[in-house]
Structure 1
Amino acid sequence: MAIDSDSSARRQKRFGNAALAFVALFWLGLLCGVSFLATPVKFQAPSLDLPTALEVGRVTFALLARVEWLMVILLAGSLALGSLTRPRLILATGLLAIVALQSLWLLPVLDARIEAIVTGNPSSPTYHHMLYAVSEVAKAILLCVLGGLALAGLGARSRS
């Protein structure tokens, strides 16, 4: 009986590590595709005027924010199934903080700027866009490290 429960616990941790690696790396791919590829490229389209590009960006990042909340939930679930270590908890907490900062503060501020530009009342530049970009890079780094830790956990489990 003890052997079965030990084996079952190892399988659950292995599944949790695999789920954590999948969620972190899937989220990283989503983030790179939207924030670092599609968003900059749309501003290169010569026939797309700035207000339209900004409105597309607003809709895109609003959807991304909702998807990222789902990813936070999936990440928490996979952490609960796998090995919940201090580094993983710190990385996950950092991701949660960034998603909260972006969706609850930065996106509404940026949306107001977009609305002003679209209605022909642009305001002077602020630091909010740069802060959002820096937070996207930080999120990508955290996801890379978290995914790497989960993959390393899978390797350690398979050798035991």
Structure 2
Amino acid sequence: MNKSKTPLALASLFLWVGFVGAISFLESWLKFQAPGITIPLGLGIGRLVFGALNKVEWVFAILIFISLYRAKEPVFSLKYTYFLIPVVILILQTVWVLPVMDARAELRLQGNEVSPSNLHYYFVAMEIIKVACLSLLGIRQLKLWAGKVDE
């Protein structure tokens, strides 16, 4: 990452990590600890929050991609694997995981029983991998900016 041309990518990278960390690993389980929060209310809040987070994540991913592309960085190379993995995860979450989880939540909100599913575990695993990759890339990019590592 050319440090003189990609401050937007670096900022977006760490903001992305912060948003996912705050929502997926803090807000999502804390809301059910609040007094008066029922399962239906928590599910409704979760659908709203994770739908919004998904859109914000796409903004960060697009900003990073455009910034790297404009800096003539080889975005689709091994050098940026730690960026591409979260993008693939984001695609999977957008087209598969979140729609299925939304449908299951909607069934539950309508009073229907839903069969047990491992989807939440998949989602949590994806979030852990996403945060780890983005964090590792961010640390590497900060070291590049500081001149502590060669490209």
TM-score with structure 1 setting the length: 0.84
Partner of 2:86: 95
Structure 2 gap ranges (5+): none
Partner of 1:46: 35
Q: How does 1:5-20 map to 2 (within 5 A)?
A: 13-20=2-9
For residues 15-70 of structure 1, the C-alpha deviation after alignment (integer angstroms, 9 at most, x for no partner) is: 33433321111111111111111111001113110011001000111111111111
Cα deviation for residue 88 of structure 1 reads 3.8
For residues 130-152 of structure 1, the C-alpha deviation after alignment (integer angstroms, 9 at most, x for no partner) is: 10011011110011011112111
If each structure's helix is expressed as a fraction of its own residues, which one has the higher value?
Answer: 1
Give yes or no for contact 1:24–1:75 (8 Å, CA) kept in 2: yes
Partner of 1:5: none
Of residues 40, 46, 58 in structure 2, which corresponds to 1:57?
46
- For 1:14, what is the secondary structure of its paired residue? coil
CA RMSD of aligned residues (A): 2.1
Structure 1 gap ranges (5+): 1-11
Counterparts of 2:15 and 2:46 in 1: how far apart (Å)?
A: 21
Cα deviation for residue 110 of structure 1 reads 0.2
Report the identity percentage.
31
Partner of 1:67: 56
Larger Rg: 1
Of residues 95, 103, 109 in structure 1, which corresponds to 2:100?
109
Of 78-87 and 28-37, the range deviating more from structure 2: 78-87
Residues 156 and 87 of structure 1: is their aligned pair in 2 closer, same or farther, counting only changes over 3 Å? farther
Partner of 2:123: 132
Cα deviation for residue 83 of structure 1 reads 4.6
Of residues 58, 61, 65 in structure 2, which corresponds to 1:76?
65
Corresponding letter in the other structure for 1:19: L
For residues 50-96 of structure 1, the C-alpha deviation after alignment (integer angstroms, 9 at most, x for no partner) is: 01100100011111111111111011122222754744421221111
For residues 94-132 of structure 1, the C-alpha deviation after alignment (integer angstroms, 9 at most, x for no partner) is: 111000000110000000110111111021111111100
Corresponding letter in the other structure for 2:31: K
- For 1:43, what is the secondary structure of its paired residue? helix
Count of residues paired in the alignment: 147
Counterparts of 2:13 and 2:79 in 1: how far apart (Å)?
A: 11
